[in-house]
Chain A
Amino acid sequence: GQNIDQPTEMTATEGAIVQINCTYQTSGFNGLFWYQQHAGEAPTFLSYNVLDGLEEKGRFSSFLSRSKGYSYLLLKELQMKDSASYLCAVFTGGGNKLTFGTGTQLKVEL
């Protein structure tokens, strides 16, 4: 079966750095995505990792270790608008089937 785990919720302070972890145990692996979802809105793409290592994009970075089945999303210089749910998702098996974790609800406080 497919198992993707991430913390249910996290709280951080405006201006700080936060790391959201994701571990996965899946049958097949063809890449890992991070999406951001504000309440009542569409998930929006943040990052994609298929090779081990760090991908940096502005205030957001994502890391992948395939041997450990582990990824993290790093958010720097947190802003209030970063309060949202962050979804870890893995392409499993063949084709384009994307399996999501339950999401981490991040709350940014003053």
Chain B
Amino acid sequence: NAGVMQNPRHLVRRRGQEARLRCSPMKGHSHVYWYRQLPEEGLKFMVYLQKENIIDESGMPKERFSAEFPKEGPSILRIQQVVRGDSAAYFCASSPGFSLNEKLFFGSGTQLSVL
């Protein structure tokens, strides 16, 4: 009974490197969401994807950040040329996609630390 799986749990990168965060949604879920959480702050929406489509990327920085959810395999959040300000917890959530306003199921997050 796997829930939303994220890996790695912790990721350390040096400034200028690339970070790849992976998210496998719950079985049967076709909608994926990425959120970022900074210390003492709330979860900030980044991007909402369905299989092979980006539905809403209004919360994602225009540069260096990209996301995909391919037909096969996990969703990937990619951060190029990381900077210290990218250090945060990145959470992925999924929902079935049957209707609007569905409950989101969250993964345990990836803690990204940029040195």
Contacts and interface: CB of A to CB of B under 8 A. Distances in A.
Contacts of A7: none
Contact of A44 (B33, B45, B106): B106
Interface stretch (A10-18, A57-65, A70-78, A96-104): A96-104
A43 B33 contact: no
A91 interface: yes
A24 B100 CA distance: 20
A1 interface: no
Contact of B108 (A30, A42, A45, A48): A42
Interface residues of B, number: 27
A87 interface: yes
Contacts of B109: 40-42
B30 to A, nearest CB: 11
Given A41-B108, A43-B91, A103 B42 contact: yes
Size category, A interface: 20 to 34
Contacts of A102: 40-42
Contacts of B35: 100
Contacts of A97: 45, 48, 56
Contacts of A33: 103-104
Nearest to A4: B42
Contact of A50 (B3, B33, B43, B101): B101
B113 interface: no
Nearest 8 CB-CB pairings of A with B? A102-B42, A42-B106, A100-B43, A100-B42, A31-B101, A42-B108, A43-B106, A30-B101
6 contacts: A42-B106, A42-B107, A42-B108, A45-B105, A95-B56, A98-B45
Given A41-B108, A43-B43, 8 more contacts: A48-B103, A89-B43, A95-B48, A96-B101, A96-B104, A100-B45, A102-B41, A103-B42
